[in-house]
Amino acid sequence: MNEHEIAAMWEQFGAEHPHLEPTDRNGEALIRWVVENGGLINIESLRVAAKVLANELERVPPPPPVVVPPAPPPAEPTEQLESWQIPLTPVPSSYTLAKASKAAVADYLKRAREAAGINFPTYPSHRRSQEKF
């Protein structure tokens, strides 16, 4: 075999065994095994040597695991407001609240409490007793 044939043989072997590290140590181990077992150095004998020495040869390190970033959290639904309602965001100015109707302010406070997870218990309205003490 000439140098070009040897280079082509190693190139073919490397293409067939991409999991093996192309090091001098691996090449020497493969050739040593073939020679010690009375074989001719060719692609077939290298394939057999690679199978026999599979646990002894250096391997290409596995690629790092692919890290998929977590999906972004779902966007919060946009409020669908009536024309008289006050939006929760941006926080309304005191001018906006002063100009709004009582119903709009009450509705705004109710929705703001719900959004914040604040649940006030509802009590029946209490009027002052008409009794005189």
Interatomic CA distance for residues 63 and 18, integer angstroms = 13
Residue 128 lies in a domain: no
Interatomic CA distance for residues 40 and 114, integer angstroms = 82
On whether the CB atoms of residues 44 and 51 are closer than 8 A, the answer is: no
For residue 101, the enclosing domain spans: 81-120
Residue 59 lies in a domain: no
Residue 17 lies in a domain: yes
Beta-carbon count within 10 A of 123 CB:
6
Residue 29 lies in a domain: yes
Residue 10 lies in a domain: yes
pLDDT tens-place string over residues 41-89: 899 999 999 999 999 999 998 888 999 999 998 887 777 888 899 888 8
pTM above 0.85, yes or no: no
Q: How many domains does the chain have?
A: 2
On whether the CB atoms of residues 87 and 79 are closer than 8 A, the answer is: yes
Nearest to 37 by CA among 58, 52, 17: 52
